[in-house]
Amino acid sequence: MSETTLLGYWIRRFLLEHLIGERNLSRNTQLGYRDSLALLVPFIAREANRAVDALRATDLTADILRKFLADLETSRGCSPQTRNQRLAAIHALARFIGEHSVELIAWCAQVRAVPFKKTAKAAVGYLEKTEIDALLAAPNRRTGQGDRDYAVMLFLYNSGARADEAAQLRVKDVDLAASSVCIFGKGRKQRHCPLWPVTVKTLGSIMGDRAPSEHVFLNRRKSPITRFGIYALVRRYASKVSAAVPSLGKKRVSPHNIRHSTACHLLRAGVDINTIRGWLGHVSLDTTNIYAEMDLQMKEAALSKCDIGGDPHSVRRWRQPALMEFLKNLV
């Protein structure tokens, strides 16, 4: 059996040669693709009744792939969104194999024909200013950990940074003199964000005289905090203040909610949508436009401007045209 027929041969080339060498994808993306394939391969081995290292690429059939996707949702309890993420990784592997092996082009087409599942677009959640203020007031700033926790949440709200972006922030990325920070986002895209004076003071306090290459936010063991640690931190304080602010108990509070809150509050303050796009590091303006769509307060303000007032019965009602009239006038 030729090595080029083995699935393992192509997976190794895909992960090392394509994802890293050719596309230079971020570490998190690489790990996402790896985890998807680590779930897929044992499933194929069970279905094909073959050892993992003996699996051929053609052992991954469209039928087995559909069974795998169904198993993700039923046995593992994955959401349709997670299912689609796993499928995207498998599609990318199949495309890579098809581009490098003429014999497997037809197989590639069959695998990539397995469709994504349509999912409902979830409403974007965000926090009101009073809820943000309650979160920021929760840490006990008389302790080192409380001061660190306050700094993390203040930075998230000021910059609109993702949890991973905050976790990877280095001392050299913060320019206290210029009151700005350099953030490295998805796809290693770089953006600069202004900092409030209170954020500058707080970050300067927790950084001290650390070396430029060190991380800004550390855990209790003085190791760099992870994005999971930041998620746990935010949720812990949300749970702590939910008794005093009941509305927080009804929301799923996370670092990403704080990011959404930053965008909404900037929009309410009159900042134009393109500036917010650059602030958050979005590639497309379409992504940023969701904040204009979801802000109920701005919708209510717009509605009040076109309130007709007076007696609603006195308003002339619109007449729906007859069908043939509608068809003739349709351009």
Helices and strands per DSSP (H, E), number in the chain? 16, 3
Q: How many CB atoms lie within 10 A of CB 91?
A: 18
Q: Is 299 a catalytic residue?
A: no
Q: Two tokens at 322?
A: 């007859």
Q: Is 56 a catalytic residue?
A: no
Q: Two tokens at 83?
A: 């299912």
| Active-site residue, from 100, 240, 256, 268 | 256
| Active-site residue, from 86, 148, 259, 260 | 259
Cβ density class 107-118: b for 16+ within 10 Å, e for less? bbeebbebeeee
Residue ranges with strand state E in the chain: 174-175, 180-184, 190-194
Of the candidates 11, 148, 151, the one whose C-alpha atom is nearest the C-alpha of residue 89 is 11
Q: Is 251 a catalytic residue?
A: no
Chain centroid to Cα 4, Å, comes to 36
Q: Is 291 a catalytic residue?
A: yes
Q: Two tokens at 281?
A: 């590091």
| Active-site residue, from 162, 191, 215, 260 | 162
Of the candidates 101, 98, 125, 126, the one whose C-alpha atom is nearest the C-alpha of residue 112 is 98
Q: Is 186 a catalytic residue?
A: yes
Instruction: Find residue 289's DSSP bridge partners.
Output: none
| Active-site residue, from 95, 100, 186, 235 | 186
Q: Active-site residues: which are they?
A: 162, 186, 256, 259, 282, 291
